Amino acid sequence: MQQAIAILDSGVGGLTVAKEVMRQLPQEKIIYFGDTARAPYGPREPYEVIQFTHQIVDYLLQFQPKMVVIACNTATAVALDEIRARLSIPVVGVIHPGARAAIKSTRNGIVGVIGTEGTIRSGAYELALRQISPSIHVVSQSCPSLVPLVEKGLFRSEDTLEVVEQSLRDLSRLPLDCLILGCTHYPFLTDAISQVMGPRVTLISSADETAREISTILYHKGMLATSNRVPVHQFFCSGDPFLFKQIAQSWLNEETRVTPVVWQVPHII
């Protein structure tokens, strides 16, 4: 099936999902939307995030995608069920894949979760983990300082390690054996997070795991792309297209064509 996979995020974080989809499913075409004008979503009220997610999905539906991926943990936490109920195509979020991977990985049953305020406040990871495995012990913490670093492209700055150290100081003292990166921005900071948490803690990237589950679902629905032609991906963003392009090219290691989108409806900032 040659239609594209639509991926949406509050900004550049979902590029971690896009990159893994490109690597794990090289025949699939991607249409990506980063709502950089309104990022971060983490501190916003749920009703705003739900409204923004519907708006982006409406925009992406013009391209008739075969699947919608909500590559933002905050939006998945509050809007996944609504979007899934509304569309007839598969809708995939990033929370359950990370939860399932953590359950597969953990040996001592103590799982850490880091995410935005919105994601952690929603309790969506605890719910996903305990729905499957009620005896799992979950330790959650919001890390509001991390997304702004990534959205500014500062994921290799000198301050990064210091900010990550401050954010994870308490968690790193607990006996958890795996840590879910419950925000698609965090894989940009994997080196620093890994350094702070130490070698005994397995990092679970909800981005990588989501790409794997996209592959599973497309296969089971008979919807995998079958053409050997190299797909041409499309990127859209609502904010500064030059900054977006710079971050995207650096992360994806390839030339990226970015189309700016100006919201025609007033937006709440």
Contacting residues toward its own copies, per CB under 8 A: 20, 24-27, 90, 96-97, 100-101, 103-104, 131-135, 208, 211-213, 215-217, 219-220, 224, 228
| 9 annotated to bind ligand | yes
| 185 annotated to bind ligand | yes
| 184 annotated to bind ligand | yes
Q: Between 37 and 103, whose beta carbon lies closer to its own copies?
A: 103
| 73 annotated to bind ligand | yes
Q: How far is the CB of 162 from its own copies (least distance, A)?
A: 30
Instruction: Assign 97 to helix, strand or coil.
Output: helix
Q: How far is the CB of 140 from its own copies (least distance, A)?
A: 20
Q: What is the 3-state secondary structure (H, E, C) of 18-37?
A: HHHHHHHCCCCCEEEEECHH
CA dihedral sign, ordered 178, 158, 18, 51: positive
| 42 annotated to bind ligand | yes
Q: How far is the CB of 131 from its own copies (least distance, A)?
A: 7
Catalytic residue among 72, 143, 178, 237: 72
Q: Between 157 and 216, whose beta carbon lies closer to its own copies?
A: 216
For residues 94 and 128, give the distance between their C-alpha atoms in angstroms, rounded to a whole number: 11
Catalytic residue among 143, 178, 183, 237: 183
Q: Between 54 and 212, whose beta carbon lies closer to its own copies?
A: 212
CA-nearest of 121, 111, 99, 113 to 42 is 121
Cis peptide bond prior to 40, omega within 30° of 0: yes
Q: Between 44 and 233, whose beta carbon lies closer to its own copies?
A: 233
For residues 206 and 231, give the distance between their C-alpha atoms in angstroms, rounded to a whole number: 24
Our answer to whether residue 183 is catalytic in this structure is yes
Q: Between 173 and 229, whose beta carbon lies closer to its own copies?
A: 229
Q: How far is the CB of 25 from its own copies (least distance, A)?
A: 6
Q: How far is the CB of 146 from its own copies (least distance, A)?
A: 24
The DSSP bridge pattern shows strands 202-205 and 137-142 to be unpaired
Cα 17 off chain centre by:
6
Our answer to whether residue 143 is catalytic in this structure is no
Q: Which residues does 199 contact at the CB level (< 8 Å), separation at least 6? A: none
| 190 annotated to bind ligand | no
Crossing angle of helices 95-105 and 206-220, in 10° steps, is 100
- Give me the active site residues, please: 72, 183
Please report, in range form, the residues annotated as the binding site for substrate: 9-10, 41-42, 73-74, 184-185
